[in-house]
Amino acid sequence: MLKKLVLKYRYLIILSINLLIIALSYYLAFYTHFNFIFPAAFVSNFIKTIPLLVLIKMLIFYRFGLFSGLWRYVSFDDLYRIIKATIFATFAFFVSVRLVFTDLTFPGSIFFLDWVFCFFFVCGTRFITRFLRERFKPEISGSKKRALIIGAGEAGIMALRECQNNPQ
């Protein structure tokens, strides 16, 4: 029941998780920059700029394909896409803030901290999902059969991983 519900709303769940990551990363960037105190003078800066940040990052994440794919098969190719998307999104946000909000005093380190938090949270959710799926696989009832995989290189490894991920 829960699995069907998650599969039905998978895309919406992924969008929501990324939206939460973007907002949380930005908040933590402010929070850590100001030594775990959120000065009242910068609350308005945060509130004014967060819609722009969310818009830019969601569009760029979509463009780089971060909302598609299966997290249980996350790989170094995904890591490379995440690096490119987060760097490009942070740069676009930096330029946008400097052009749109010329009157704001905005510490530059906020952009870097936001990138660090966002990158690690986006990667972390994917790799933790993969780790949990591989570590806590449900056991298949019935007898297990032994198999010998003959072959070398990527094809043999791919066959082994497929047998491990789909025992039936």
Q: Per residue in 89-104, pLDDT tens?
A: 999 999 999 999 888 8
Please state, in angstroms and rounded to a whole number, the distance separating the CA atoms of residues 61 and 73: 18
Q: In the numeric block, which tokens belong to residue 4?
A: 């069907």
pLDDT higher for 78 or 51?
Answer: 51
pTM > 0.75: yes or no: yes
Q: How confident is the model at residue 21 (pLDDT cuts 50, 70, 90)?
A: very high
96-113: buried (b, 16+ CB within 10 Å) or exposed (e) per residue?
A: ebeeeeeeeeeeeebbeb
pLDDT of residue 140: 60
User: Which pLDDT belongs to residue 161?
Assistant: 73
Tokens for 25, please give them: 């990363």
